[in-house]
Amino acid sequence: MKEKTVNELNLGELGVVNKIIGEETIKRRLLDLGLIEGTNIKPVLTSPSGDPRAFEFRGSLIAIRKEDAENIKVK
Amino acid sequence: MSKKEKLSIEKKETKRKSNYTIALAGNPNVGKSTIFNNLTGMNQHTGNWTGKTVANATGYFEYRGETYKLVDIPGTYSIMSHSEEEEIARNYICFGNPDATIVVVDATSLERNLNLVLQITEITDNIIVCVNLLDEAKKKKIEVHLEELSNILKVPVVGVTARKKKTLNNLLKVMRSVCEGKEGINPIYQIHYDEKIEKAIEQIQESIMEQYKIEEKLARWISIKVLDGEKRILKEIEKQLNIQLINHSKIDNARREALETLGEKGIYQEEFKERIVSTIVKDAEKIGKKVCQFGNKDYANRDRKIDKILTSKKYGIPIMIVFLLLIFWITIVGANYPSQFLFSVFGNIQEKLIEFATYIHCPEWLSNMLILGVYQTLTWVISVMLPPMAIFFPLFTILEDLGYLPRIAFNMDGFFKKACCSGKQMITMCMGVTKWEIF
């Protein structure tokens, strides 16, 4: 089965973070925000142009661009 | 002035010797600058975007006969990575030797904020956790048990509502007793990593403490950084403490050994960092769950509904344009009256100045240069520029307080990305437009 990224989650669909891949700086940034393995994440808003989307995790609402969201794999 | 007297805080404009230095740390948008302004009586601009405090701002205030120097360091989510703000924040907490570090946290998202608090507990014992936005939390039906938090972290925890100066009294009291060394006798909370990682840290720590006279806590923190192997942080530590880490043969050997043992147990260098961060985040989660109680979620749902409209495809951008046009319109129309007034006042003074110059037989070239050159240009600029700024910035602050600016950035990011910028630039652009419209 192909791994899903949070990008592929529909609005309101819950995902559980499995792994963050990609470039070190952005990875660090996402980790610092608490996006570690096992974190529940849910897209809740889409901006008018479709990108970025805002995700809810650990009680905060954070906007993440498509290219960064593609690096967040979910279970 | 009476309010200030009650707080017994005095505004100090000139730099002077201070008895104690306090660092003010925290995530972005937790009201750090509000606390800074209310304590020092200064008026630093507060804003809603990351890294708006580009450098440390310093202010002074007096409390019960002692002068305190307050250093507002940049707001960050973490102090472990490379961005400029994080470096400034980290360097100050580590090497600035403040007598106390106040970490301001947002009661409405305590868990995320605790991440930074825990990172700071690794560096210093003299921490005061200041839980801000308790009123917002109450509105959102979130209850924060401050005493419990203080028991867990073993540091003083103070609840405040920064906008209300009165509530800062308690913070001042605690700050004073921390500075005078009345608190912080017991060891504070310590993060415990994996057994294997702890062993590795210990190894390095021993070797560092053998070589240099460094306090245990700091040595532990440095050891983690040595294992982590981030050159930039290590170089900074070397420079600040005047020690050698990277090319020190004994420490390097200890490092290699420790990493080898870790590798045998399946923890590789790349993973090390992630493990460290994960442990801290999980600890923050555990503590957050213990001290926060969430009531019904209706409030969050209402917020989310408003957000949906403000960022929708159909209404998001039109609403934004209406908001901004309204602000620009008020600014332009509203600024006309004070501008005209200033013009006439300055104009009258100018006539008097010319009369005076003739009266004292001032040579024409000099009076022309001073009055028509310097004075006129200066006053024209003031008459034209000052009123719109005095109107626009307060209005913009209202948008900030409503939390609308991040929504604007969110709406616009898609378009700005095409120009390799981020949506945040929209806010800078708005500021720019006012300056341009003035001319």
Q: Looking at this predicted complex, what is its ipTM?
A: 0.86
Domain ranges of chain A: 4-74
Average pLDDT of the segment spanning B156-164? 88
Least confident range from B122-131, B241-250, B356-365: namely: B241-250
Whether B318 is covered by a domain: the verdict is yes
Does the pLDDT at position B8 exceed 80? Answer: no
- Please give the pLDDT value at position B299: 66
CATH pick for A4-74 out of 3.20.80.10, 1.20.1530.20, 2.30.30.90, 2.160.10.10 = 2.30.30.90
B15 secondary structure, DSSP code: -
The verdict on B225 and B374 lying in the same domain is no
User: B172 vs chain A: nearest CA distance in angstroms?
Assistant: 30
Give the strand pairing for B66-72 and B127-132: unpaired
The verdict on B137 and B240 lying in the same domain is no
CB contact at 8 A, A70 and A23 = no
- Please give the pLDDT value at position A1: 52
- Quote the domain boundaries for residue B251: 195-266
- Tokens 């897209």 belong to A43
Whether B203 is covered by a domain: the verdict is yes
B 240-279 residues with CB < 8 A to A: 273-274, 277-278
Distance from C-alpha of B365 to C-alpha of B356, rounded to nearest angstrom: 15
Most confident stretch, B12-16, B161-165, B172-176, B186-190: B172-176
* A54 interaction partners in chain B (CB closer than 8 Å): 307, 311, 410
Average pLDDT of the segment spanning A51-58? 89
The verdict on B152 and B220 lying in the same domain is no
Contact A65 B112 (CB under 8 A): no
Interface residue of A25, A29, A32, A36 to substitute, partner B, most B CBs within 10 Å: A32
B146-161: burial string, b at 16+ Cβ within 10 Å, e else: beebeebbbbbbbbbb
The two three-digit tokens of residue B41, written as one number: 């009586």
The verdict on B24 and B103 lying in the same domain is yes
Does the pLDDT at position B183 exceed 70? Answer: no
| pLDDT tens for each residue of B108-125 | 889 889 999 999 999 988
Interface residue of A11, A17, A18, A28 to substitute, partner B, most B CBs within 10 Å: A28
- Please give the pLDDT value at position B150: 93
Contact A48 B278 (CB under 8 A): no
Contact B311 A48 (CB under 8 A): yes
Give the strand pairing for B127-132 and B142-144: unpaired
- Please give the pLDDT value at position B351: 93
Does the pLDDT at position B9 exceed 50? Answer: no
Does the pLDDT at position B37 exceed 80? Answer: yes
What is the DSSP secondary-structure string of B335-382? HHHHHHHHHHHHHHHHHHHHHHHHHTT--HHHHIIIIIIIIHHHHHHH
Q: With bands split at pLDDT 50, 70 and 90, how would you rate the model's confidence at B82?
A: low
User: B112 vs chain A: nearest CA distance in angstroms?
Assistant: 7
Domain count, chain B: 3
Which residue(s) pair with B142 in the sheet? B294
Query: How large is the greatest C-alpha to C-alpha distance in chain A, in angstroms?
Result: 32
The verdict on B260 and B317 lying in the same domain is no
User: B15 vs chain A: nearest CA distance in angstroms?
Assistant: 36
Distance from C-alpha of B110 to C-alpha of B217, rounded to nearest angstrom: 25
% of chain B beyond a pLDDT of 70: 90
Q: Is the peptide bond before B156 cis (omega within 30 degrees of 0)?
A: no
The verdict on B395 and B316 lying in the same domain is yes
Contact A34 B414 (CB under 8 A): no
| pLDDT tens for each residue of B371-388 | 989 999 999 999 988 998
* B417 interaction partners in chain A (CB closer than 8 Å): 51, 65
What residues contact residue B401 under an 8 Å CB cut-off, 6+ apart? none
| pLDDT tens for each residue of A6-15 | 999 999 899 9
User: A47 vs chain B: nearest CA distance in angstroms?
Assistant: 5
End-to-end CA distance of chain B: 38
Which residue(s) pair with B66 in the sheet? B63
Least confident range from B41-50, B147-156, B290-299: namely: B41-50
Predicted structure pTM score:
0.79
Does the pLDDT at position B140 exceed 70? Answer: yes
User: B405 vs chain A: nearest CA distance in angstroms?
Assistant: 13
- Please give the pLDDT value at position B326: 92
- Which is more confident, B143 or B298? B143
Least confident range from B238-247, B266-275, B307-316: namely: B266-275
The two three-digit tokens of residue A8, written as one number: 């592929």
Which residue(s) pair with B60 in the sheet? B69
Distance from C-alpha of B337 to C-alpha of B355, rounded to nearest angstrom: 28
Contact A34 B115 (CB under 8 A): yes
Which residue(s) pair with B24 in the sheet? B72, B102
Closest by Cβ to A45, choosing from B111, B307, B317: B307
Average pLDDT of the segment spanning B46-63? 66
Contact B311 A47 (CB under 8 A): yes
User: A15 vs chain B: nearest CA distance in angstroms?
Assistant: 18
Does the pLDDT at position B416 exceed 50? Answer: yes
The verdict on B236 and B323 lying in the same domain is no
Whether B94 is covered by a domain: the verdict is yes
Closest by Cβ to B81, choosing from A32, A46, A50: A32
- Please give the pLDDT value at position B415: 85
Average pLDDT of the segment spanning B148-169? 89
B 76-135 residues with CB < 8 A to A: 77-78, 80-82, 108-109, 111-112, 115
